[in-house]
Amino acid sequence: MDFLISNAMAQTAGAPAGASGMANIIMLVVFIAIFYFLLIRPQMKRQKEHRTMVEALSKGDEVVTGGGVLGKIVEVGDAFITVEIAANTFIKVQKHAVGAVMPKGTIKNS
């Protein structure tokens, strides 16, 4: 029946039991700090920049939506904007769907 129950082995001499637990806590804190500075903080910065860009949208701005549609804003509402993508062709998109504001004259150059 020895194959069902493993033999108990004596603990080898080494660091005290409390030191191992403290090392694990320190490693956990280090991993959380690395995770925060490499992933969470840059993402929060991008969200803040996007939010300020969306709040600053105004009539006449040339924008690219998340789907890649290039157009000129003709009307700004609370949650939606109307974008002219061709002569007399308008689409209504959510403000948060705007991916980037392009420099003036981008539509004429494309």
Write out pLDDT tens, residues 3-51: 666 666 655 555 555 568 888 999 999 999 999 999 999 999 999 999 9
- pLDDT for 45: 96
> For the domain 58-109, what is the CATH code?
2.30.30
Q: Do strands 80-86 and 89-94 pair parallel, antiparallel, or not at all (unpaired)?
A: antiparallel
Neighbours of 43 (CB within 10 A): 10
pTM assigned to the model: 0.68
Query: Percent of the chain scored above 90 by pLDDT?
Result: 73
Q: Is the pLDDT of residue 110 over 60?
A: yes
